[in-house]
Amino acid sequence: MQIEKYKIDDFNQQQEQEHKRKFEVLASSLNNVEGVLQKLVDFQIGIPSWALGTGGTRFGRFSGSGEPRSLEEKIEDVGLLHALNQSSGAISLHIPWDIPQDYKAIKALAAQHGLKFDAVNSNTFQDQPDQKQSYKFGSMQHVDKAIRRQAVEHNIEVIRHGIELGSDALTVWLSDGSSFPGQLNFRNAFENTLESLQEVYAALPDDWKVFVEYKAFEPNFYSMTVGDWGQSLLFANKLGPKAYTLVDLGHHLPNANIEQIVSLLLMEGKLGGFHFNDSKYGDDDLTTGSIKPYQLFLIFNSLVDGMDARGMDHATSLAWMIDASHNVKDPLEDLLQSVEAIMIAYAQALLVDQQGLKGAQQENDVVRCQEILQEAFRTDVRPIVAEARLRTGAALRPLQLFRELKVRENLINERGLKTVATGL
Ligand code: AOS
Ligand code: ZN
Ligand code: ZN
Ligand code: ZN
């Protein structure tokens, strides 16, 4: 299925009068609206290939319908999102779930939808049917060198796929760790992992980055070998200038101050990218902005402040990706909601009076500091986000158009009622 441009234009025309009225009221009360709009237009968020189907929990999986059955159909799905919002111009692939058969054809298909290939992801947290050694007791940390070697070789193979597709980063998330005290010698586990990562690092092309993603717990419940931003930063620093920390919002212990972590990683020049999602308890992988929108705004406030302090280009310096799982919603609708929430938080952060805030901080005027942040957070920026979409030829209301065009119904007609996409 494809969404023809005229359908978006027709839809926008019906909405435009009401939109313009709201946008003009808002724009008249703000400074530098054009600057904010340009930043929103440039900002693109990578969609994970594993989030296009219905996920599940440990207790079951209730299949969705019309899910993508192949890499080609996953690209088609992200193309639909991008046509609707013009903010999802990249896809992040997972190997071996998404092994491309014909690179040229896959690249051409992605280009046809205006999509780039974001970081490629390796998988040493599952055993594959044809695999020699098991990752039951870890991969890069393993006490057995042969198993570590297998994990390294897999990562190098993922880099090779990425090179063919024009990606320029590898994300390594390790499930390695231990579930019981005494199971693991922490120092040996760290050193083995470092040695393995060094071997992978050595295989990175010059213009590539590697993102080391940390996670507090799950699937291991006593220790994770890359368990927090400190451990990830240790690895990244020891590896070298091409290695960075990746922050997945759901990978912290409850109430962790993620905006502070982000700020310090940026200060160190070691923040590589994001996995956006939301959570209430753990790695819930819920829709971004659905549980803690204020936290999301505060994270973006740290990002804008930190990137501007280092003169970084907002759109291209970091890898902006979603990592989510959908149990009860249509995955595409959920992803549209996540992208919208990210754009809203970003727009609000761009409205923060950074100079005023710095002044208030110097004077220890705590009340004014809070007022400045909340002034931006409580601004309804949806008309600015919609205006940015209008200017790029996207839909003023992507979700509404998705439903009006009966996108899912069309996909079900094409692909069938019972389809299962690979992924989480
Ligand atoms: C796992 O918890 C991490 O969030 C990974 O980034 C990601 O979910 C995984 O690589 C997808 O399989
Ligand atoms: Zn993640
Ligand atoms: Zn996760
Ligand atoms: Zn997550």
Question: What's the CATH code of the domain at 138?
Answer: 3.20.20.150
Q: Does the CB atom of residue 215 touch ligand 1 within 6 A?
A: yes
Ligand 1 pocket mutation, candidates 124, 139, 212, 213, criterion most atoms within 8 A of CB = 213
Nearest ligand 1 atom to the CA of 97 is 12
Asked if residue 422 is part of any domain, the answer here is no
Q: Does the CB atom of residue 424 touch ligand 1 within 6 A?
A: yes
Nearest ligand 1 atom to the CA of 218 is 2
Nearest ligand 1 atom to the CA of 250 is 4
Asked if residue 178 is part of any domain, the answer here is yes
Query: What token pair was written down for 290?
Result: 């659905």
Asked if residue 320 is part of any domain, the answer here is yes
The ipTM value here is 0.95
| Residue environment code for 76-92, b if the CB has 16+ CB neighbours within 10 A, otherwise e | bbbbbbbbbbbbbbbbb
Which residue is closest in CA terms to ligand 1's atom 8? 323
CA of 391 to the centre of ligand 4 (A): 32
Q: Does the CB atom of residue 323 touch ligand 1 within 6 A?
A: yes
Asked if residue 331 is part of any domain, the answer here is yes
Nearest partner of 95 among 117, 67, 115, judged by Cα: 117
Asked if residue 72 is part of any domain, the answer here is yes
Q: What's the number of domains the chain is made of?
A: 1
User: pLDDT per position in the chain (424 positions), as tens?
Assistant: 999 999 999 999 999 999 999 999 999 999 899 999 999 999 999 999 999 998 888 888 888 899 999 999 999 999 999 999 999 999 999 999 999 999 999 999 999 999 999 999 999 999 999 999 999 999 999 999 999 999 999 999 999 999 999 999 999 999 999 999 999 999 999 999 999 999 999 999 999 999 999 999 999 999 999 999 999 999 999 999 999 999 999 999 999 999 999 999 999 999 999 999 999 999 999 999 999 999 999 999 999 999 999 999 999 999 999 999 999 999 999 999 999 999 999 999 999 999 999 999 999 999 999 999 999 999 999 999 999 999 999 999 999 999 999 999 999 999 998 877 766 5
pLDDT of residue 62: 85
pLDDT of residue 424: 59
Q: How far is CA 189 from CA 221, 228, 383, in A?
A: 15, 15, 50
pLDDT of residue 417: 87
Residues with CB under 5 A from ligand 2 (ion): 248, 275, 323
CA of 59 to the centre of ligand 3 (A): 18
In tens, the pLDDT along 353-374 reads: 999 999 999 999 999 999 999 9
Structural domain for 327, as ranges: 5-415
Asked if residue 420 is part of any domain, the answer here is no
Handedness of CA 90, 96, 97, 102 (dihedral sign): positive
Q: Does the CB atom of residue 121 touch ligand 1 within 6 A?
A: yes
Asked if residue 234 is part of any domain, the answer here is yes
Residues β-bridged to residue 211 = 171, 244
Instruction: Decide: 196 and 174 in contact? Cβ < 8 Å.
Output: no
Whether cis (ω within 30° of 0) applies to the bond prior to 181 is no
CA of 29 to the centre of ligand 3 (A): 40
Ligand 1 pocket mutation, candidates 120, 121, 252, criterion most atoms within 8 A of CB = 121
Asked if residue 421 is part of any domain, the answer here is no
Q: Does the CB atom of residue 275 touch ligand 1 within 6 A?
A: yes
pLDDT of residue 61: 85
Whole-structure pTM value: 0.97
